[in-house]
Structure 1
Amino acid sequence: MPQPAAPSDALNQSLYDELHRCAAAQMRKEHAGHTLSATALTHEAWLRMAEQTRTAWQSRSHFLGVAALMMRRILVNHALAKQAAKREAMLVPLTLTEARQVAGGVDADVLRVHEALLAFEQQDARAAKVVELKFFGGLELGEIAEALDLSRTTVKRDWALARAWLHRELTG
């Protein structure tokens, strides 16, 4: 008869599954040819989270909030590395369609959102944190409220403000 999983194994599996859910939600926003998969993003974030030896985890929301920050850093670093690789790549003739595909893409969008979010942090750090948890972590408003120890109404208000500000910055 199989032995039941130890509580720590079950907890780790539950947290891993939740992290994978967040990564999958984030990767659905990315273009189809993205070189990171949800599983690769999950593994990288999980490894970085395991390195957090001085962090006293307070709750599931605290864990997911830090995981959102890790995923943001991973995606931004990945996009920056791809840009650097493009600058160092050999020149190859491209069709107009291929050039549009290379020039666009969500990697550029991740960097634009990241840069806009850095600017927004100077205006409203709390609302910027809400965006980070929602956009990069895939958390729902209730989860964000719990993670930041705020009311759901405050998080909803911050999210609306941030969306309007970011929309103006990213489309203007």
Structure 2
Amino acid sequence: MIKQGEITQLLAEANQGNISAYNKVFPVIYTELRNIAHRIRFQFYGIQTLNTTAIVHEAYLKIVRNDTDWKSRSHFYGVAAKAMRQVLLNAARGKNTAKRGASSEHVCIDDWQEQIDLSEKCSKELILLDEVLKQLEQKDQRQVKIVECRFFANMSVDETADILNISPSTVKRNWQTTKAWLYSQMQHQT
């Protein structure tokens, strides 16, 4: 089993092209992305079909396409949370596109086709949430990162605190404030 400190080192080595490091860290990354996606699956209401594997593969593709120099394990998981947000938002936008009669292309891996299918209501709410999060990002990027970790990656308060390098009490306080602000902004825009 790979220790937490080793993950950062392996990510850095894999980022520099070390295939052996990549082969060691990939199963850990894949497993963690799968755990996050599985937790998300049970978080969203209005989901008819939410395939954990489809979310993991889409998020993984976003992460590896992002030419990032991994500074730490926390940095990696922060990027993973943002990727999960983008995957769900893309699914929501795809639902709206399909509703208007256009079709969107899906990334296929070895002719494997999975689909993340959100209800129309869930899709609209995710798109609205993203618009409100963009407003919040102008004011406080840390609060947006807390939302990405807590909502989109379904991380615990302690996991979020560890990833963002802040105290759990700060996460709790910011999470409560941010949820209330998001709710009021979303109600105002509907």
Same fold (TM over 0.5): yes
- Match status 1:86 vs 2:131: no
Closer, same or farther: CA 55–7 of 1 in aligned 2, 3 Å: closer
Structure 1 vs Structure 2: percent identity of aligned residues? 33
Closer, same or farther: CA 164–70 of 1 in aligned 2, 3 Å: same
Q: Tell me which residue corresponds to 1:97.
A: none
The DSSP-based 3-state class of the residue aligned with 1:138 is coil
Letter in 1 for 2:63: M
Larger RCO: 1 or 2 (CA < 8 Å, sep 6+): 1
Distance in 2 (alpha carbons) for counterparts of 1:54 and 1:62: 10
Q: Tell me which residue corresponds to 1:12.
A: 26
State the Cα distance separating 1:122 from its structure 2 match: 2.3
TM-score (norm 2): 0.71
Q: Tell me which residue corresponds to 2:59.
A: 45
The DSSP-based 3-state class of the residue aligned with 1:88 is coil
The DSSP-based 3-state class of the residue aligned with 1:33 is strand
Q: Tell me which residue corresponds to 1:71.
A: 84
Q: Which has the larger radius of gyration?
A: 1
State the Cα distance separating 1:131 from its structure 2 match: 0.7
Q: Tell me which residue corresponds to 2:5.
A: none
Alignment of 1:70-149 (within 5 A): 70-88=83-101, 104-149=120-165
TM-score (norm 1): 0.77
Unpaired runs of 5+ in structure 2?
1-19, 103-117
Unpaired runs of 5+ in structure 1?
1-5, 90-101
State the Cα distance separating 1:133 from its structure 2 match: 1.2
8 Å CA contact retained: 2:85, 2:148: yes
State the Cα distance separating 1:18 from its structure 2 match: 1.2
Distance in 1 (alpha carbons) for counterparts of 2:38 and 2:94: 21
Letter in 2 for 1:148: L
Closer, same or farther: CA 163–141 of 1 in aligned 2, 3 Å: same
8 Å CA contact retained: 1:76, 1:111: yes
Number of matched pairs: 153
State the Cα distance separating 1:43 from its structure 2 match: 0.8
